[in-house]
Amino acid sequence: MAPGSNVREGGCQCGAIRYRLEDAPFAVHCCHCRTCQRETGSAFALNGLIEADRLTVLAGEPVRVEPPSQSGKGQSIARCPTCQVALWSHYAGMGERATFVRIGTLDDPGAFPPDIHIFTRSKQAWVQTGTAPTYDVVEVSR
Ligand SMILES: [Zn+2]
Ligand SMILES: [Zn+2]
């Protein structure tokens, strides 16, 4: 692959926040936990893990909110101050060095399919996970 071919841009719904991923995420988690279901109002969340310094904010300034997380260790979510779309998170377990980008906010949301499914004990029965490995409970960090 040519250098830079994994560079992707994304943003919030209103366009106030724009960002760029300088590399592909090193892992993409499909999280079926109840927290992600509730936060997204959907069946799961798709999070790409990337080193924090590989995400560049191009426009706007996200605000941080800190709702409770499934692990109980806390998380910090970066949202657009205008449209409130959640763009990425930091989890206490991994600190500020790793960023969990909401893959659905990329301009090309199909660019990075999940390579692991986590918290599948609360997975919706109709969701097919394909060939990627699944974990009932434990959030795998690597
Ligand atoms: Zn916005
Ligand atoms: Zn989750």
Distance from the alpha carbon of residue 66 to the mean position of ligand 2, in angstroms: 14
Ligand (nearest to CA of 31): 2
Distance from the alpha carbon of residue 27 to the mean position of ligand 1, in angstroms: 26
Give the per-residue pLDDT at 7: 95
What's the predicted TM-score (pTM) here? 0.86
Give the per-residue pLDDT at 142: 43
Q: Name the residue with higher pLDDT: 40 or 71.
A: 40
Ligand (nearest to CA of 85): 1
Distance from the alpha carbon of residue 135 to the mean position of ligand 1, in angstroms: 33
- Confidence at 62, pLDDT banded by 50, 70, 90: very high
∠59-88-46 over CA atoms, to 5°?
A: 130
Distance from the alpha carbon of residue 2 to the mean position of ligand 1, in angstroms: 32
- Confidence at 1, pLDDT banded by 50, 70, 90: very low
**Tokens 């426009």, located at residue:** 59
* pLDDT over 70 (residue 123): yes
Tell me what the pLDDT averaged over the chain comes to. 90
